[in-house]
Amino acid sequence: MSHHKKMVLPLLDGALLRPALRDTFFKLGLRAQLKNPVMFVVYLGSILCSVLWVQALLGHGQAPAWLTGSIAVWLWFTVLFANFAEALAEGRSKAQAASLKGLQKSTWAKKLATPQRYGAEFAMVESFDLRRDDVVLVQHGDVIPCDGEVIEGIASVDESAITGESAPVIRESGGDFSSVTGGTRVLSDWIVVRISVNPGETFIDRMIAMVEGAKRRKTPNEVALTILLLALTLIFLLVTVTLLPFSAYSVNAAGSGEVVSLPVLIALLVCLIPTTIGGLLSAIGVAGMSRLMAANVIATSGRAVEAAGDVDVLLLDKTGTITFGNRQASAFVAAAGVSQATLAEAAWLASLADDTPEGKSIVVLAQRLTDGAGGHLDDDAKVGRTLLADLHAGLTPAGASFVPFTAQSRMSGINLDGRHIRKGAADAIRRHIEALGGSVPRSLLQQVDTIASRGSTPLVVAEGAQVLGVVELKDVVKPGIRERFAQLRQMGIKTVMITGDNRLTAAAIAAEAGVDDFLAEATPENKLAMIRDYQARGQLVAMTGDGTNDAPALAQADVAVAMNSGTQAAREAANMVDLDSSPTKLIEVVEIGKQMLMTRGALTTFSLANDVAKYFAIIPAAFAVTYPQLNALNVMQLASPASALLSAVIFNALIIIALIPLALKGVRYRALGAAELLRRNLLLYGVGGLLLPFAGIKLIDMLLSLLGLV
């Protein structure tokens, strides 16, 4: 049973609000404000307005003291609300980081002396004193002191502190399951671990550094948007600065009216520049990283999160992602002149020592067949009474010697009383039989192709130089995966299935699953070549992997998700690590990346549309005395110029606090194409952003008038 420790705190949780409120005021420092150019302008305007308010109180103000003071207060609120949005987003990330820091405890390690073997003497040292290439012994009950690779032994390891999975995992030397993480605990047996990192470079250290929002680096798209917002801010700053001498010239020329006051110009500038998106931009990025962490994925690169939202091609492993991965024997197909019972008996014998799910399923299917035959299998098979009893009891026959499966031979089997039975891939069995002077019938090869074309895996069984038939292994495509791929296609994302199966099997499963393309008989070299080919066409590629042989392709991919259960090489090559080791997580990562881009785009659209509406409120108010003709733009019929000015500034501040939940939770993800998303955003956030300020500013104006404040 799985228990995921996902840090998803409620938005109004006291554990988040208290530190966020404290950090809101800490962020008022000059260095912190300089990081956000748009809000820095508001920050300077708040300071200047505060100074002008003091002057007004002393009788030297350009505008009434109550108006200047009110503008100053709401400008400070605007800055504080923007700080609060960022602090709240960072607070969620810091809460996640705090839980990870709890894993960073100094433990005692058994550092081995030469020779570096299990029986060698060891010295007790603190884990923080270990360095790369040191070798330690970890026994039952010990905490693994640092990240490393198992070089000897096998052990059951509790990784729940990292992954949230309560079920222990097996870690052993060699293969794809030799990587161990510091802070996890050995439950049984022992392992010898070679340390692979220095202090401060561990997996948990990298996790903490990325999770803490304060250390998050801006992504390229975020930098580009910041430059755009800065350009708009500079344009409106220049416009506002020129309005003061222009207003003075108009008053002098006309001989009447009033020069626009400095507090009014500051309020105008703040309402003109894109303060809404400027105040929420950082919070959106931090919240995106936090949502990724909530999905138990650690990004070692902020660029990767953003790239995930722009991915064009997904490379997905067949086993465990598209199919369940537990191939089961579903049928025995006997060769011409061979009974099904003979084939079943031979397949059963060849699978007795096979501990794989496939081997066990063959034994079960053979037992089920004999049960269905009423125990009369020996009438038409070579099995004797004792052997038949062993079959039903699931026992290994006496005097049997087993031939284990190897990557070179690609087959396994049994030697029993002069009988040599083998099962394996069709080409491997063909070479085996030809070496013995026999041949594989053409009709059987056709059966192999037929089974492969159905998406199943054919396993050929032979005794000596005679082929007995084929066992059909079926791997079931996951329900709903075809619809998921259809959604990705609608979003313009191409899906490619990667498998070690032959082309016929791969083609059948690809057709059933609904993927756009497939790579059969995949090797590290052709995975890498495929990624480079797509990238050469200007497309962004995402893939997932867990083995050392996946490392080159992971390093090449734009978005690379490594399984936490995989090798150290895979984790170091990738720019994301999935703590759950779920092959389907890549699709979720892409959705989170797209959601972050959708949220940023939606709020940018809303902010710019919002500003257009505010112009109708504040421009007539600012220049009504100098240019009475501008009253025609007062479509909201606001009570007075002072009320219009203050209502716009108040709305400008309050809209930031109102949009914080949307910035942190993100816009609801929808699997739609870019054109459809653009239409929806323009309709909902463009038109909504245009209309909402009219209603909001008018409502505030009515409230101020009702309270007699203007």
Any idea which residues carry the catalytic annotation?
317
Asked whether residue 550 is marked as a ligand-binding residue, the answer is yes
Instruction: Determine phi and psi for 470, rounding to 5 degrees.
Output: -130, 140
Asked whether residue 546 is marked as a ligand-binding residue, the answer is yes
- Distance in angstroms (rounded) separating the CA atoms of residues 243 and 249: 10
Asked whether residue 411 is marked as a ligand-binding residue, the answer is yes
Cβ 393 vs Cβ 401: under 8 Å: no
Strand order in the sheet with 576-578: 297-299, 576-578, 559-563, 541-545, 313-317, 494-498, 517-519
Asked whether residue 176 is marked as a ligand-binding residue, the answer is no
- SS3 string, 631-677, reads HHHCCCCCCCHHHHHHHHHHHHHHHHHHHHHHHHHCCCCCCCCHHHH
Closest by Cα among 7, 3, 16 to 211: 7
Asked whether residue 489 is marked as a ligand-binding residue, the answer is no
Q: What region does 166 belong to: left with phi over 0, alpha with psi -120 to 50, or beta?
A: alpha
Asked whether residue 299 is marked as a ligand-binding residue, the answer is no
Asked whether residue 407 is marked as a ligand-binding residue, the answer is yes
Instruction: Determine phi and psi for 529, rounding to 5 degrees.
Output: -65, -40
E strand intervals along 198-237? none
The Cα-based distances of 400 to 203, 413, 588 in angstroms read 47, 10, 49
- Distance in angstroms (rounded) separating the CA atoms of residues 584 and 399: 45
Q: Specify the DSSP class assigned to residue 144.
A: P
Cβ 346 vs Cβ 461: under 8 Å: yes
Q: Specify the DSSP class assigned to residue 381.
A: S
Helix (H, G, I), strand (E, B) or coil at 6: coil
Asked whether residue 354 is marked as a ligand-binding residue, the answer is yes
The Cα-based distances of 450 to 346, 442, 453, 518 in angstroms read 22, 12, 5, 19
Which residues carry a binding-site annotation?
A: 354, 358, 405-412, 423, 546, 550
Which residues carry a binding-site annotation for Mg(2+)?
A: 546, 550
Which residues carry a binding-site annotation for ATP?
A: 354, 358, 405-412, 423
